Amino acid sequence: MGADQGRFDLTIRGGTVVTADARFEADLGIRGGRVVQIGGQVRGEREIDASGKLVLPGGIDAHVHLTLSDPPGDSGEPRWCDDFHSGTRAAAGGGITTVGNMTFPHPGQTLRAAIERDAAEAERDAVVDVMLHPVLTDPATQPLGDIPALAAEGHTTLKYFMSFGGFRTDPEAYLEATRLAAGAGMLTMVHCEDAAMIAHATDRLMAEGHGAIANYPRSRPIAAEVSATARAVAFAELTGAPTYVVHLSSAGALDEVRRGRRRGAHLAVETRPLYLYLTEERFAEPDGAKYVGQPPLRRADDVVALWRGLANGEVDTVCTDHAPWRYADKVVSGMDVTTIRPGVADLDTLLPMLYSEGVAKGRISLHRFVAATATNAAKLFGLYPRKGTIAVGADADLAIWDPALTKPVRATDFQTNADYSPYEGWEVTGWPVITISRGDVVYDNGRVTGSRGRGTVLRRGPTASL
């Protein structure tokens, strides 16, 4: 496993190392931010006793929102409450060492200008490492010629929404963007909900006087997700583009991916914590708006299908779509299905909740947990084997995990600026106690120790097959 007899910057002793395909007892030697020795004799300037703990690859949450889609202060409306500093502190506290931020161009900005803007903010503020996903929102003002140039600079993803009006009026431009992304070795990320079907369903609900939050799932029906997923699959088949379906929420949409894979399309699936733990009945609660995301929570049979897909590998990653709000801005009297604010905070709880509800309860194996939270994302997003695994030469991105630690979810304990959790009070077993990013301890037993600006914006390679 590699041997280096010199002294290390950091050693981790006595832990059980777990990767997506192996589990073994070994000490780790870290130097220069990388793992340089696994096993054998290790001596370090600093030593961590991991006895009784698991040593896992640091999590990769490839889908977060830490910057705004338009300039702050222009409308006076409340906004998401995390930025690169608070959001990456939340990541570190949750055992996550890399986040992928959705970078929206402000009105009139190009994709390149948006990436430059977010890169500067991330380098200034981030505690852990960041990858940036340019989001195509308006092909009329965002030249598609930027796509291969961004790929050449290491930003090897492209995101767009089928739920936005621009896709509804000019889908051909998005198809061309998908083709260009494929040619540049990029992964195309697609939000799969049909804009026309959403508009039709919402208009009918409002006309019939059924705009209450309890009816939110009817405003963005499963049929809209299934239809859009089928179209994304067709785009992938036509262009040959590796395609990543973000936050898939329903059994029907997973069926469409399954059919496309059988026909040879290169498709990957992400789901989101909300869809694994909660169902649509939550919207009938007095403060049901706190659960609102896009797509909505689904039915119990959809939850079962997603767990099954996660266990058998049909669902590749679990990422948060972290879009945090203060409770007072999220749960507002008088809101309806047209005015509710989507998004919840999940960075602090992504890994602990999935370990507790998945591994500890026997729904998924520990190896699937590692694959879905680290290794698969590293491969899909052009970071493997530098990240997503524990190997000689890899970045020392690690989570020291206490599988027996049980405590309740309390928003007041977390690093996010959001002041509520949809899982408040849930008893969770299995938490990170130390998080290490490129050899630096950035979280240690309840305290973030990583400095502002130590995170880097990652240059990535092309996507790889799983």
Residue pLDDT, tens place only, 336-358: 999 999 999 999 999 999 999 99
Residue pLDDT, tens place only, 118-177: 999 999 999 999 999 999 999 999 999 999 999 999 999 999 999 987 898 999 999 999
> Residue 180 pLDDT > 80, yes or no?
yes
What's the average model confidence in pLDDT over 381-399? 98
> Residue 74 pLDDT > 70, yes or no?
no
β-bridge pairing 54-57 and 16-18: parallel
What's the average model confidence in pLDDT over 246-268? 98
Confidence of residue 2 (pLDDT cuts 50, 70, 90): low
Residue span(s) of the chain under CATH 3.20.20.140 come to: 58-380
What's the average model confidence in pLDDT over 92-101? 98
> Residue 75 pLDDT > 70, yes or no?
no
Q: Is the CA virtual torsion 35, 36, 42, 44 positive or negative?
A: negative
**Residue 417: CB atoms within 10 Å:** 18
Confidence (pLDDT) at 453? 98
| Cα separations in angstroms, 357 against 5, 248, 352 | 41, 19, 8
The pair of structure tokens assigned to 100 is 């992928």
> Residue 409 pLDDT > 90, yes or no?
yes
Residue pLDDT, tens place only, 78-93: 889 999 999 999 999 9
What's the average model confidence in pLDDT over 325-333? 97
What's the average model confidence in pLDDT over 385-395? 98
The pair of structure tokens assigned to 262 is 């059988």
Alpha carbons 152 and 175: distance in angstroms, whole number: 20
Confidence (pLDDT) at 165? 72
Question: What mean pLDDT value characterizes the chain?
Answer: 96
Count Cα neighbours of 166 within 13 Å in the Cβ-side half-sphere.
13
Confidence (pLDDT) at 452? 98
Confidence (pLDDT) at 70? 73
What's the average model confidence in pLDDT over 434-463? 98
The pair of structure tokens assigned to 272 is 């989101």
The residues, ordered by sequence, that sit 6+ positions from 466 with a Cβ below 8 Å of its Cβ are 268, 316, 376, 379, 380
Q: How far apart are the first and last CA of the chain?
A: 23
What's the average model confidence in pLDDT over 289-299? 98
Residue 140 corresponds to which amino acid? A
**Residue 161: CB atoms within 10 Å:** 22
> Residue 261 pLDDT > 60, yes or no?
yes
Confidence (pLDDT) at 129? 99
What's the average model confidence in pLDDT over 4-23? 92
What's the average model confidence in pLDDT over 425-432? 98
Alpha carbons 446 and 449: distance in angstroms, whole number: 9
Confidence (pLDDT) at 374? 98
Could you tell me which of 92, 162, 84 has the C-alpha nearest to residue 117? 84
Alpha carbons 449 and 435: distance in angstroms, whole number: 9
Confidence (pLDDT) at 5? 58
What's the average model confidence in pLDDT over 360-384? 98
The pair of structure tokens assigned to 265 is 């399309």
Q: 155 exposed, middle or buried (CB, 10 Å; 0-12, 13-18, 19+)?
A: buried
| Cα separations in angstroms, 243 against 32, 198, 236, 268 | 35, 23, 6, 6
Residue 140, classed as helix, strand or coil, is coil
Alpha carbons 17 and 55: distance in angstroms, whole number: 5
Residue with structure tokens 């706190």? 290
The pair of structure tokens assigned to 302 is 């959809």
Fold of 58-380: TIM Barrel (3.20.20)
What's the average model confidence in pLDDT over 51-56? 98
Fold of 8-56+389-448: Urease, subunit C; domain 1 (2.30.40)
Residue span(s) of the chain under CATH 2.30.40.10 come to: 8-56+389-448
Confidence of residue 16 (pLDDT cuts 50, 70, 90): very high
